[in-house]
Amino acid sequence: MKIYYERSGGFLGRSISTTLDTNQLPPELALSLLEKVDNADFFALPETVAGDLEGFSGADCLHYKVTVEIAGVQHTVETSEMDAPDELQPLLQELAILSRGATLTPNG
């Protein structure tokens, strides 16, 4: 599984992006990511998750774009921190930590 993660916006307006390949991660971390993708029912989420246009384009709001590729099938979800579904939050949190190069425990 490959995951492409982008976060932009926020108070400082800094963008962060990373690409993860579970074949190159420790098995516990790869399993944790796979479980979070599965628990979010990621491939069933709409491509754009937004409550309203004003909330989606807020200047201080973080915006996320996540693409997951499994066995050649890709799905992308774009959302803001305010509109992200609850089931997507654990995946977004883990990707945020990994994009900063921090070590994450599998249950974290």
| pLDDT tens per residue across span 21-62 | 999 999 999 999 999 999 999 999 999 987 654 444 556 788
Per-residue pLDDT at 7 exceeds 90: yes
Q: Is 106 within the bounds of a domain?
A: no
The structure tokens 């997507």 sit at: 88
- Supply the pTM of this predicted model: 0.82
Q: Which residue has the higher pLDDT, 39 or 100?
A: 39
Q: Is 107 within the bounds of a domain?
A: no
The terminus-to-terminus CA distance of the chain in angstroms comes to: 20
Q: How far apart are CA 17 and CA 8, in angstroms?
A: 9
**Residue 81 lies in domain:** 2-99
| pLDDT tens per residue across span 58-96 | 567 889 999 999 999 999 999 998 899 999 999 999 999
Q: How confident is the model at residue 15 (pLDDT cuts 50, 70, 90)?
A: confident
Number of domains, the chain: 1
Q: Is 46 within the bounds of a domain?
A: yes
Q: Is 67 within the bounds of a domain?
A: yes
Q: How confident is the model at residue 102 (pLDDT cuts 50, 70, 90)?
A: low
